[in-house]
Amino acid sequence: MEVGITCASTGLHKSSSSSSSSWIVREKCRSRGKPNGFGFFRFFHRFHQTPSQIVLLKTKELQCREKNISKFVDFQLWCYSSEDIQAPAEESETNYGSIDEALILKKKSQDVAPHLRGNCIYLVGMMGSGKTTVGKILAEVLGYSFFDSDKLVEQAVGASSVAQIFLENSEDFFRNKESEVLRGLSFMSRLVVATGGGAVIEEKNWNYMRRGITVWLDVPLEALARRIAAVGTNSRPLLCRKSGDAYTNALEDLSELSKKRGGKYANANTRVCLENIASKLDLGDISDLTPTAIAVEALIQIEDFLMERWATS
Ligand SMILES: Nc1ncnc2c1ncn2[C@@H]1O[C@H](COP(=O)(O)OP(=O)(O)OP(=O)(O)O)[C@@H](O)[C@H]1O
Ligand SMILES: O=C(O)C1=C[C@@H](O)[C@@H](O)[C@H](O)C1
């Protein structure tokens, strides 16, 4: 059924705190059509900047006036301008480590890219597991765009940090927004998404992420605690403790979180285990592993997963 909606432009809210160029359009309008009917709606909106992608974030039916005839719809669109699309690899300043590693990465990405068919890659893993670091490398070599779901939640809420959202709203509020963000992203293609460390808790998030390929960065807790102690916990509200040794605190809190999350990360399609890569490369310590080596392993695991999926389909 077709539902025709024409709405007046009521507001364009561009996130002022962010250097990225995505913004939310919120509209309320009246529509004609049967309540709960499926279809598409048309709207007219004067954009200050031409969006390159628009995603319907959420709709809510506000009120039914006369049964089956008239209703009000509140909807949000998530718009991206072309500035969000990353620069091509040649213009990038990413440090890939050694030339050998960079070449292996390039070769592997060329092998995998055609098989991906534009499917998004979702990186899951505990805080500090390297989702952002490795995700940016993967996006660049695959010619994908990179998004950090924590940053997108901050933009959607208009907050300067996840910690601020936890403090001024609540963790539940943050989790709902995180799910809305993942739902929005699930309609898009050619993205590498670094998800929040706790995104795996919600079953519905898996439904969104499974529209792409999910990759678990499995890093030992001691290494996570070392990384987190080095950069501080200010941006990580679940680890914020005022006193005590930063490494010991981080290790205790991470162990607790990891226990609570049980095997949720293992729901991912593929697992990139740093201990396995270190032994494969004959390295004594996982801290000798470069982000490029981890990105290569992620591509190997993705390729294996795609081959297996096609072999059994
Ligand atoms: N392979 C690596 N070796 C050493 N340090 C790393 C490695 N990968 C990432 N790091 C460092 O660990 C910290 C966390 O990395 P990153 O932000 O990429 O993780 P994340 O999974 O996105 O974290 P969060 O979920 O908390 O946002 C950063 O300081 C980063 O520089
Ligand atoms: O592991 C978690 O629950 C979190 C990880 C971060 O990425 C943020 O999403 C937030 O701090 C919660």
**Average pLDDT value over all residues in the chain:** 80
Ligand with the closest atom to the CA of 196: 2
Nearest CA to ligand 2 atom 5: 197
- DSSP class of residue 71 equals E
180-233 per-position pLDDT tens digit: 999 999 999 999 999 999 999 999 999 999 999 999 999 999 999 999 988 877
Dihedral sign, CA of 216, 116, 148, 187?
negative
192 in contact with ligand 1, CB cutoff 6 A: no
288 in contact with ligand 1, CB cutoff 6 A: no
Helix axes 99-116, 291-312, angle to 10 degrees: 30
* The CA-based dihedral angle spanning residues 302, 210, 84, 238, taken in that order and rounded to the nearest 10 degrees: -100
Nearest CA to ligand 2 atom 1: 197
What's the half-sphere exposure (Cβ side, CA atoms, 13 Å) at 243? 0
Q: Report CA(175)–ligand 2 centroid distance (Å).
A: 9
Listed residue (127, 118, 177) closest to 145, CA to CA: 118
Q: Is the pLDDT of residue 310 over 50?
A: yes
Q: What is the pLDDT of residue 245?
A: 84
Q: Report CA(299)–ligand 2 centroid distance (Å).
A: 25
Q: Report CA(156)–ligand 2 centroid distance (Å).
A: 16
27 in contact with ligand 2, CB cutoff 6 A: no
Q: Is the pLDDT of residue 115 over 90?
A: yes
Higher pLDDT, 49 or 281: 281
Residue 243 structure tokens: 């006193």
Reported as a pLDDT band with limits 50, 70 and 90, residue 61 is: low
Please indicate, yes or no, whether the overall pTM of this predicted structure exceeds 0.80. no
Average pLDDT of 68-76?
A: 59
Q: What angle do CA 54, 76, 150 make, to 5 degrees?
A: 80
Listed residue (261, 198, 255, 195) closest to 221, CA to CA: 255
Average pLDDT of 157-181?
A: 94
Q: Is the pLDDT of residue 282 over 80?
A: yes
Higher pLDDT, 155 or 124: 124
Higher pLDDT, 54 or 164: 164
What are the E-state strand segments in 65-209?
70-80, 121-124, 145-148, 191-194
Domains in the chain, CATH or no CATH each:
4-82 (no CATH), 86-312 (3.40.50.300)
Q: What is the pLDDT of residue 136?
A: 96
Contact 162, 191 (CB under 8 A): no
Average pLDDT of 284-305?
A: 94
Average pLDDT of 236-258?
A: 85
What distance, in Å, lies between the first and last C-alpha atoms of the chain? 33
Reported as a pLDDT band with limits 50, 70 and 90, residue 293 is: very high
Residue 302 structure tokens: 């993705």
Q: Render the burial of 164-189: b for 16+ CB within 10 Å, e for the rest.
A: ebbeeeeeeebbebbbbbbbbbbebe
Rounded to whole angstroms, how far apart are CA atoms 183 and 109? 27
Rounded to whole angstroms, how far apart are CA atoms 64 and 35? 7
- Give how far Cα 260 sits from Cα of 126, 198, 220, Å: 12, 11, 16
Q: Please determine, for the modelled complex, whether the ipTM score is greater than 0.95.
A: yes
Report the atom number in ligand 2 closest to the C-alpha of 195.
7
Average pLDDT of 278-296?
A: 92
- Count CB neighbours of 136 within 10 A: 19
Reported as a pLDDT band with limits 50, 70 and 90, residue 235 is: confident
Residue 206 structure tokens: 């898996």
- Give how far Cα 6 sits from Cα of 28, 74, 196, Å: 10, 12, 36
Q: What is the pLDDT of residue 286?
A: 92
Ligand with the closest atom to the CA of 154: 2
Listed residue (260, 264, 254) closest to 233, CA to CA: 254
The label of the residue with tokens 């092998």 reads 111
Nearest CA to ligand 2 atom 3: 198
Contacts of residues 63-67 at CB distance under 8 Å and 24 or more positions apart, as own/partner, are: 64/35, 67/35
Q: Report CA(292)–ligand 1 centroid distance (Å).
A: 13
